[in-house]
């Protein structure tokens, strides 16, 4: 295409000295951006990229084939692969553009060429902006792909930790923690959350919340549950984890006891899952393993607990005892430490009503809440029933 701007001879003269212009630009880039000397990008490859992009711009300005965006995308991909920061990539394009323009101004020796160059400036910088955009898009494609690969690698490593793989139990714990992005010196918790019916996250935004509290964590979603390995630092770590997880929870969530080595992670997963089952079905809340031993026992042996609940509480779940009032009274009685007045206040009824219902419970079940052994059976059966999520 014939040049009609009057700038053609100027850019053609620069093109004849593109090697010298490249060397000048590369020196300025290296001086302005220390990351180029620190990155694994070889100097020869940096020069090649600068040369290719400068040459592409100059050939376009002299009427040649437009390969500017293609060349810029190559630069974006390669710099992303070598870990050059995106701002440094864009700064290099700006430096290159300014160097070309300064050379053009210096070589515009006639008034006509200077006027033509001025008219061409908007177009030139628009082309450079388009190149920067193309390079950015290519850079982000590589960065996104790398992030996906890293996420897959972290997920595989995390699952090996949770499964207790030999390479985790007998390998370098520090290496595994680095691979997961966790600090080398920290205690750990496993957090388990039950996904909603439609796959809703039971802990939306929890990783960001924990990060805001200076707690590192890594997460995966498997077979209807969200599992996280959380690594708080300091003595207040457990309290921070529990507080943050409670703030995020929208479903049933369990938290393990703290542990100090990744080899203990499989046991912590078991604890977190049991703790999750200590939250009533269809409910929402966070339960810490060990905070309610009887609930944990019931959740760990759900089938036997359900059988106990049916055998002990059967008469209260059907017939004249099946309206739920007796079970609620039993709940209130235990919560009030066996105080009739305390249970009445909780139930918003007269204490005589509580006494009557306790008597009915004793009559129907053959067990008196006032007798320790009977009370133990009734309490365990009641917790089994509540945690089963059955009505009543």
Strand partners, 190: 229
Average pLDDT (259-287) is 92
Please write the tens of the pLDDT for every residue from 205-240: 999 999 999 899 999 998 889 999 999 876 668 889
Q: Where in the chain is the domain with CATH 3.30.70.270?
A: 174-291
Please write the tens of the pLDDT for every residue from 284-329: 999 999 999 999 998 888 888 888 888 899 888 876 656 688 999 9
Say yes or no to pLDDT of 107 above 50.
yes
- The pLDDT value given to residue 3: 47
Please write the tens of the pLDDT for every residue from 124-174: 999 999 999 999 999 999 999 998 888 888 888 899 899 888 666 556 677
Give 84-140 as a DSSP string.
--HHHHHHHHHHHHHHHHHHHHHH--SHHHHHHHHHHHHHHHHHHHHHHHHHHHHHH
Which of 186 and 225 is assigned the larger pLDDT?
A: 225
Looking at every residue in the chain, the average pLDDT score rounds to 89
Average pLDDT (333-340) is 93
**Number of other CB atoms surrounding residue 37 within 10 Å:** 11
Structure token pair of residue 32: 């302005």
Which of 261 and 2 is assigned the larger pLDDT?
A: 261
Is the whole-model pTM more than 0.85? no
Q: Where in the chain is the domain with CATH 1.10.490?
A: 7-145
Q: How confident is the model at residue 1 (pLDDT cuts 50, 70, 90)?
A: very low
Q: Are 7 and 112 in contact (CB under 8 A)?
A: no
CATH architecture of 174-291: 2-Layer Sandwich (3.30)
Which 3 state secondary structure label does DSSP give 218?
strand
Q: How confident is the model at residue 390 (pLDDT cuts 50, 70, 90)?
A: low
CATH architecture of 301-388: Orthogonal Bundle (1.10)
What is the share, in percent, of the chain residues with pLDDT greater than 70? 94
Place of tokens 């006032």: 370
Say yes or no to pLDDT of 4 above 50.
no
Please write the tens of the pLDDT for every residue from 359-383: 999 999 999 999 999 999 999 999 9
User: Under CATH, what is the fold of the domain 7-145?
Assistant: Globin-like (1.10.490)
Structure token pair of residue 114: 């200077």
- The pLDDT value given to residue 386: 85
């Amino acid at each position: 295409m014939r040049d009609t701007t009057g700038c053609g001879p100027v850019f053609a003269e620069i093109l004849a000295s593109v090697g010298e212009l490249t060397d000048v630009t590369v020196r300025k880039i290296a001086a302005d951006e220390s990351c180029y000397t620190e990155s694994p990008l070889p100097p020869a490859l940096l020069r090649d990229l600068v040369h290719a992009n400068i040459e592409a711009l100059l050939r376009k300005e002299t009427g040649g084939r437009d390969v500017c965006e293609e060349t810029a995308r190559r630069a974006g991909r390669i710099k992303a692969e070598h870990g050059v920061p995106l701002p440094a990539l864009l700064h290099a394009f700006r430096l290159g553009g300014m160097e070309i323009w300064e050379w053009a101004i210096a070589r515009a020796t006639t008034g006509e060429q200077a006027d033509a160059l001025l008219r061409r400036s908007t177009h030139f910088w628009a082309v450079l902006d388009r190149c920067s955009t193309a390079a950015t898009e290519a850079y982000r494609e590589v960065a996104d792909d790398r992030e996906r690969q890293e996420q897959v690698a972290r997920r595989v490593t995390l699952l090996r930790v949770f499964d207790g793989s030999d390479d985790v139990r007998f390998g370098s714990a520090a290496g595994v923690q680095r691979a997961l992005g966790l600090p080398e010196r920290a205690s750990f918790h496993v957090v388990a959350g039950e996904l909603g019916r439609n796959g809703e996250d039971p802990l939306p935004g929890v990783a960001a919340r924990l990060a805001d509290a200076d707690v590192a964590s890594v997460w995966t979603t498997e077979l209807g549950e969200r599992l996280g390995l959380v690594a708080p630092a300091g003595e207040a770590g457990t309290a921070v984890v529990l507080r943050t997880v409670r703030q995020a929870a929208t479903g049933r969530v369990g938290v393990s006891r703290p542990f100090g080595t990744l080899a203990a992670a499989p046991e912590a997963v078991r604890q977190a899952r049991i703790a999750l089952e200590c939250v009533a079905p269809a409910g929402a809340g966070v339960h810490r393993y060990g905070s309610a031993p009887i609930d944990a026992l019931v959740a760990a042996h759900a089938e036997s607990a359900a059988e106990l609940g049916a055998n002990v509480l059967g008469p209260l779940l059907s017939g004249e005892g099946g309206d739920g009032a007796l079970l609620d009274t039993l709940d209130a009685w235990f919560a009030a430490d066996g105080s009739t007045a305390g249970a009445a206040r909780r139930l918003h009824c007269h204490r005589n009503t509580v006494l009557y219902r306790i008597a009915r419970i004793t009559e129907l079940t053959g067990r008196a809440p006032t007798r320790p052994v009977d009370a133990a059976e009734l309490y365990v059966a009641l917790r089994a029933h509540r945690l089963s999520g059955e009505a009543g």
